[in-house]
Amino acid sequence: MSRLVTTDSSPLLIGGKLVPGGAGVFSTINPATGEVLGQAANGDTADMDAAIAAARAAFDDTEWSRDHAFRARCLRQLRDALRGHIEELREVTIAEAGAPRMLTSGPQLEGPIGDLGYFADLAESYEWETDLGSAAPMGIKSARRLRREPIGVVGAITPWNFPHQINFAKLGPALAAGSTVVLKPAPDTPWCAALVGKVIAEETDIPAGVVNIVTSDDHALGSQLVTDARVDMISFTGSTQTGRAVMAGAAATLKKVFLELGGKSAFVVLDDADIAAAASYAAFSVCVHAGQGCALTTRLLVPRASYDDAVAAAAKAMRGIAPGDPNEPGTVCGPLVSERQRTRVERYLDIARAEGGTIVVGGGRPEGPGWFVEPTLITGLPNTSTVAQEEIFGPVLVVIPHDGDDDAIRLANESAYGLSGAVWGTDPDRIRHVVNGVRTGTLGVNGGVWYSADAPFGGYKQSGIGRELGVAGFEEYLETKLIATAE
């Protein structure tokens, strides 16, 4: 294994300096073994206050917000510097997040680092000012220009499941837009963020205070960031419950809030699809990274006449996926991130049994250390059941029968969430009908992949507000200024 960051090399980044945490250190745990990996700097309220002050000063008192070309150069510089640390970052991500090694070549690491280049290009090519032409409101002839400007100081609060992807999905567009950032990463994955901060401080020309990273096991620091009047925007990814608290906390200062929240996405299989192939695909996908993805499809909606065949195919696929060491190249389903998260998943399995569901596959813990749960298939429950309505965040799939395309649309929409989804079939008109009917932010058709730096991601209903990535995600970090000059 490559050298991991240690207590001495995982400080906070505040005002361009690498500093220890005011509250000392806290432990970061390897979820595959349950053992302590080491220590991370533990920021306190004074550290967060200093980070916000640094970000405010960097925005107000430097040229960062106005020099588009410089920002683009710094983002490419960061991308290239991170690539120089790719193996160290890979080992940290596997050890700390429990991410399967195979995913670090894509969305867990290398993909998000590469995406920084997209936002660098966007900073250079974006039309920052538009001529709206002349008009004469109230008889006063005026030339109008529309200008887009950075929103200011961004407080970014991120979760542990895809730490690099989510951190860079906020840092990339916010920095490209000209904003400054205070990042509060999840306490489960502090090293992933701390190493990025070290690279920023030591190997890039990003000015002091433009990026500040405060790791801490104190969730109150997130609330401090949300309520501080010096912060212009909060960009939060996490649970819907916490998202509500973020929105309420930000209301006092009327700051902009971007929320990417939970999901309970439906995988809709039409009766003209290859039922076995679709069910197997759904079963496999829900096991990736132990089901710890908000956009994973965790409800499998299949034609009632093919229900037994779909269950058999999904069960066969799940039995072939054993939870394992995320270091191994072939591992798909690693550990849950913490003992707390495993307890949460197991509580939902108990609820499924209590409500009359059948555990067809899995439902237990594999032998050995670590926070593992077996891939689990549940049948015999309606779409209104607890495990079909609430986000579990584990390798758990619920199979539900539908009675035709319109009924499948109804079931898919019978949810507080609307983040993602999938449709499998062969008739283009029927697929289009279902795609048009399902109220969700992203949909994959017959295995189509929607994730990309240039593609906006986000949800309907209680899955969030706004979009991340793409031009739409970039514009979340911009304000609009209209300038009218009398002619």
Catalytic residues: 260
DSSP, collapsed to helix, strand or coil, labels residue 146 as: strand
Contact of 286 with 297, CB cutoff 8 Å: yes
Q: What is the DSSP string of 349-399?
A: HHHHHHTT-EEEE--S--SSSSS----EEEES--TTSHHHHS---SSEEEE
Cα 430 from Cα 406, distance rounded (Å): 10
36 burial (CB, 10 Å; 0-12 / 13-18 / 19+) is exposed
Contact of 108 with 165, CB cutoff 8 Å: yes
- Helix, strand, coil share (%) of the chain residues, nearest 5: 40, 25, 35
Cβ atoms within 10 Å of 244's Cβ, excluding its own = 13
Cα 295 from Cα 264, distance rounded (Å): 8
Q: Dig out the tokens for 473 from the structure.
A: 């995600």
Cβ atoms within 10 Å of 410's Cβ, excluding its own = 16
Q: At what angle do helices 190-203 and 86-97 cross, to 10 degrees?
A: 160
Cα 385 from Cα 144, distance rounded (Å): 55
